Amino acid sequence: MGKPTGFIEFLREVASEVAPGDRIRNWDEFHLPMPEERLRTQAARCMDCGTPFCHTGTLISGMASGCPINNLIPEWNDLVYRGLWKEALDRLHKTNNFPEFTGRVCPAPCEGSCVLGITNPPVTIKNLEYSIAEKGWEEGWITSQAPAKRTGKKVAIVGSGPAGLAAAAQLNTAGHWVTVFERADRPGGLLMYGIPNMKLDKEQVVLRRLSLLEQEGVKFICNTEVGKDIAAEVLLNEFDAVLLCMGATKPRDLPIEGRELKGIHFAMDFLTGNTKALLDRHKNGSFISAQGKDVVIIGGGDTGTDCVATSIRHGCRSLVQLEIMPKPPNERAPNNPWPEWPKVYKMDYGQEEAAALFGADPRVYTTTATKFEGDGLGNVKAVHTVEVDWRRNDKGQFVPNPIAGTEKVLPAQLVLLAMGFLGPEQPLLDALGIERDARSNVKADHGNFATSIPGVFAAGDCRRGQSLVVWAINEGRGAARECDRYLMGSTDLP
């Protein structure tokens, strides 16, 4: 590496952010750029560790360890340290079609497996990735790269989330004509409507990349749900191959007493409506508002955090986030060693904002809802909760057990269910007659991504279940490679 002793000389420094109390006044991205000299200093902390784990992309204990798309992290860290930004961008693009997305929304499993992180704070890999990508856009290095010639083959992609976009980019590079079908009014899937604007700007970041893909020849057809607005058979008959990337959008419900009351919504309906209203400048339609309400969010994870931050910007009166799992430790537990993903306590951006506004982290751990109480007019007015104790049952499984005497009643005029997803919606899969696995996902092996129907492939959350954006990009690229091999007999795609 360019600075062999950099990890000894320099401390970890993360990019500055707009203060929580200030950023909740708008929907703008709140990360502030870091000066180039300080970025180069942070890149110098990357060790000549010999066996880097940051780009391994393996699963350990069910969690990602290292970068799932195998970003060449030590290489572009070294290039940034040397001031060779364009070369760093070239290395980054070899494995990642959309570093401006992952640099913003990825939880950075690479940093969790950084060798320096064994004894010191890890390298700021995520911020460096973000900075390389933005430097590329600012300098005009990221431009339309339409293929020199076309194969004449046509590929239909169902879904324009990160898996679908990654597959579209790769297949277009191979020279195929790619058409992406999206049921929403705008392309982008999860990137457009599942992640709030302050975390990933739609007009400045997402649309910038979508416009480039269109310039390169990718065609987007929106407001079109395959299996409803267009028959599934049309895709099979009119395209040489089909790739399913429609995500895992069936939300997990909470069927307890009072579930039918008004004011109880799935988190994604809340987030999607809010972003659509922002993009439409509030001219069309309506959205679920938290203004002036006591909000209870059931479920943790990124979606729960996004609900926290969105509710605060609406102007909620109070906010509680219920988490059924125990509070993580402040440091790695003995059964969570490096290079596993560190399961430690931290406050994400939404919790930081809630703490600044209300004085404390809004999360309440080892607690679950037992009943929704109505106001007599069909509206929710309270959530009944109880603390739980996790113990093994007679089958050896850890299950939550209610603790008598810990019952509470929380005021709530808005309840948001953010408990994850159960898999892809089934009507299109039924129409195609696609074979599914035991979890209702599309059955297709990782590596070949082929479904039970010849010429039909699957990638992303609809195949693997709810996961990270970076895993979706991994799968989209892999499925594109196998789709190209199916169409041409061989492939040069990575």
Question: Rounded distance, CA 236 to CA 231, Å?
Answer: 9
pLDDT value, residue 51: 87
pLDDT value, residue 154: 98
pLDDT value, residue 132: 98
pLDDT value, residue 203: 95
Question: Rounded distance, CA 380 to CA 390, Å?
Answer: 29
The predicted-structure confidence for 235-258, as pLDDT tens digits, reads as follows 999 999 999 999 999 999 999 999
H-type helices in 216-297, by residue range? 232-238, 267-279
The predicted-structure confidence for 122-137, as pLDDT tens digits, reads as follows 999 999 999 999 999 9
Instruction: Report the 10 Å Cβ neighbour count for 139.
Output: 11
The predicted-structure confidence for 422-454, as pLDDT tens digits, reads as follows 999 999 999 999 999 999 999 999 999 999 999
Question: Rounded distance, CA 330 to CA 315, Å?
Answer: 31
Question: Rounded distance, CA 354 to CA 92, Å?
Answer: 35
Domains of the chain, first to last: 6-138 (1.10.1060.10), 154-249+422-488 (3.50.50.60), 253-419 (3.50.50.60)
pLDDT value, residue 1: 67
Token pair listed for 402: 């209610």
Q: How confident is the model at residue 62 (pLDDT cuts 50, 70, 90)?
A: confident
Question: Rounded distance, CA 106 to CA 420, Å?
Answer: 17
Question: By the 8 A CB rule, do 162 and 101 touch?
Answer: yes
Angle between helices 85-93 and 125-138 (to 10 degrees): 110
Question: By the 8 A CB rule, do 160 and 483 touch?
Answer: no
The predicted-structure confidence for 356-379, as pLDDT tens digits, reads as follows 999 999 999 999 999 999 999 999
Token pair listed for 19: 């203060």
Token pair listed for 125: 């890999």
pLDDT > 90: percent of the chain: 94
When pLDDT is averaged across residues 464-471 and rounded to a whole number, the result is: 94
Instruction: Characterize the bridge pairing of strands 408-411 and 380-392.
Output: antiparallel
Q: What is the pTM of this model?
A: 0.95
Q: Which residues pair with 208 in a beta bridge?
A: none
Question: By the 8 A CB rule, do 422 and 252 touch?
Answer: yes
Radius of gyration of the chain (CA): 23
Q: How confident is the model at residue 43 (pLDDT cuts 50, 70, 90)?
A: very high
pLDDT value, residue 50: 85
The predicted-structure confidence for 254-288, as pLDDT tens digits, reads as follows 999 999 999 999 999 999 999 999 999 887 668 99
pLDDT value, residue 469: 96
Question: What is each CA distance from 233 to 105, 226, 237, 432, in whole angstroms?
Answer: 36, 9, 6, 8
Instruction: Report the 10 Å Cβ neighbour count for 439.
Output: 12
When pLDDT is averaged across residues 23-30 and rounded to a whole number, the result is: 96
The predicted-structure confidence for 320-361, as pLDDT tens digits, reads as follows 999 999 999 999 999 999 999 999 999 999 999 999 999 999
When pLDDT is averaged across residues 91-120 and rounded to a whole number, the result is: 96
pLDDT value, residue 83: 97
Question: By the 8 A CB rule, do 455 and 486 touch?
Answer: yes
pLDDT value, residue 399: 94
Token pair listed for 300: 């943790």
- Shortest CA distance to 13 belongs to which of 33, 32, 41, 52? 41
φ/ψ (deg, to 5) at 407: -65, 140
pLDDT value, residue 285: 67
The predicted-structure confidence for 154-163, as pLDDT tens digits, reads as follows 999 999 999 9
pLDDT value, residue 148: 94
Question: By the 8 A CB rule, do 386 and 396 touch?
Answer: no
Token pair listed for 157: 């992609």
Residues 6+ apart with CB under 8 A from 87: 79
H-type helices in 319-363, by residue range? 349-358
